[in-house]
Amino acid sequence: MLRKRKGLGIAAVLLACFCGVCAGAQPVTVERWGIFEASFSGPSEGNPFVDVELTATFTQGEQKVTVTGFYDGDGVYRIRFCPPSLGEWTYQTQSNRPELAGKTGTLKAVEPSKGNHGPVRVAHTFHFAYADGTPYRQIGTTCYAWIHQPMELQEQTLKTLSEAPFNKIRFCVFPKWYAYNKTEPLLYPFEGTPPSSWDFTRFNPAFFRHLEKRIGQLCEMGIEADLILFHPYDKGHWGFDRMPKEADDRYLKYVVSRLAAYRNIWWSMANEYDFMKEKTPEDWDRFFQIVQSSDPYSHLRSIHNGSVLYDHKKPWVTHVSLQKGSAVEDYRRAVLYRDVYVKPIVFDEVKYEGNLPQRWGNLSAEEMVLRFWEGTIAGTYVGHGETYLEPNDLIWWAKGGVLRGQSPSRIAFLRKILEEGPAEGLDPIDKGQDFPFAGQRGKYYLGYFGRKILTEWPFELYRGGLSEGMKFRVEVIDTWNMTITPVEGIFEVSKKDGYFFADKNGRSVPMPSKPYMALRIVRVED
């Protein structure tokens, strides 16, 4: 049912996501939405991270894109560019150092390779699509500190992802010092002496090269990297959660300069931002604005809450990222967030399938799958997480490794259904009433009955988009056992009353008297 993704060889990663590395006069061919990189030798004395400024302007006709370069250590400076359109581009550098200023070059952006659909954007107000228009149905997971684990475990995580249904993964830039995850990482983002003596004016290029490698591998697998820029799970152990203002701002600009050219990047300002008591509401606004102004490609931007919701109506927020498990226990709660924010709603954390003693980490697999479906028929998106306690605290939610739960296969089943659905996405059909269906009125309906046990469902559809004589076929979906059973015959609708159309012969859909059942109803064209 779910195709396996391509292998993870570094050559394949470079071909798919890093298509062109050069500096000089010869044109380079790079696929659209790939990565062109130019590297230059420059000053290494003093502190290049602070003292040297480098940008480049890429030009194609009237179109201009200015990107910021970065220092990669050992006297090497790099500029990265993700061409947004086909054809020839020229570039010229600007710098406060003469040896880096006035460098020029040419590249040619060609048709993207299979699987390269460009960055994900907001589409149809509440949904997402890739830059080429291909619909993107968010099926994400959380694995906070996987890039900070031993290399063998990181490779195991990538292997697991290559066979899993997830097309997005949330993870942190900074390491995590928290329950079930109190180990020192292999690399740190700044120069200094662990655990807490750092020079926040000097980045560790090796750390960021490793981060880039993992993002590139995710890109090659078709997985979006939802990168968490700050988090509260430090408690002062390293001090990355309480850097001074100038260090925060410099860090954000450096991360964006290195990573913005990766088409699969999403920016999450923080996980449980309100638990970072050293930061103010004004700080979070400033962080959003720094990322927005520094990113020439306008990647998606969000922030994740603990107890206090951020004001997601602010213009720099592209979509809503929520921790709110109770909202997706019932689609009628989840849909309210669409009404409030009028943006895509992603319930990135709805608690986790697992067996931890903490109440946030012991959902059953059935409950996790139910929350995915309730969120779906609300016209929103839901994220997965897994917290089964194993020896050495090898929990997916924190460290990665392997998946042990029963929900991922059912989530894969849902993903297939979503990808077979309408390109515009699923919107609530009659959101003001108890009508558990989403879709596109008059064309496509996906209904879910949760824990209810039905022996039959009277064929009745809300009037919007319907007219006399329209015909529909029906399938009964067992969301737990992952079966789809066609219902015999065609249903033809006739107006029942002021609100509903029903089957003209009064037919009902027989149901199997089990929970977790769904219906798919699709119009049959004459």
CA distances from 418 to 136, 162, 367 (A): 10, 20, 19
pLDDT of 394-440, one tens digit each? 999 999 999 999 999 999 999 999 999 999 999 999 998 999 999 99
Task: Look at residues 32, 93, 95 and name the one whose alpha carbon lies nearest to residue 58.
Answer: 93
Please provide the average confidence, as pLDDT, over all residues in the chain.
95
Q: Which pLDDT band holds residue 526 (cuts at 50, 70, 90)? A: confident
Q: What are phi and psi of 361, to 5 degrees?
A: -125, 30
Residue 177 has a pLDDT of: 95
Report pLDDT digits (tens) over 21-61: 444 456 799 999 999 999 999 999 999 999 999 999 999 99
Higher pLDDT, 396 or 525: 396
In CATH terms, 10-110 corresponds, of 1.10.150.20, 2.60.40.10, 3.90.480.20, 2.40.50.140, to 2.60.40.10
> How does residue 86 score in pLDDT terms, banded at 50, 70 and 90?
very high
| Nearest alpha carbon to residue 466 among 433, 430, 434, 432 | 430
Eight-class DSSP state of 151: H
Query: Which residues does 2 contact at the CB level (< 8 Å), separation at least 6?
Result: 163, 165, 412, 415, 416
Q: According to the model, what pLDDT value does residue 405 have?
A: 98
pLDDT at 8 over 80: no
pLDDT band at 384 (very low <50, low <70, confident <90, very high): very high
pLDDT band at 13 (very low <50, low <70, confident <90, very high): very low
pLDDT in tens, 471-523: 999 999 999 999 999 999 999 999 999 999 999 999 999 999 999 999 999 99
Please write the tens of the pLDDT for every residue from 252-308: 999 999 999 999 999 999 999 999 999 999 999 999 999 999 999 999 999 999 999
Residue 441 predicted with pLDDT over 50: yes
Is-same-fold flag (10-110; 135-419)? Answer: no
Domain 135-419 has CATH 3.20.20.80: yes
| Structural tokens at position 288 | 């959003």
pLDDT at 428: 98
Domain boundaries, the chain: 10-110, 135-419, 436-524
CA gap 72, 37 in Å, rounded = 12
Tokens, residue 9: 């060889």
Write down the CATH number for the domain with range 436-524: 2.60.40.3950
CA distance 388 to 366: 15
Q: Determine the pLDDT at residue 17.
A: 52
Residue 14, pLDDT score: 42
Q: Residues 6 or more apart from 357 whose CB is under 8 A from it?
A: none
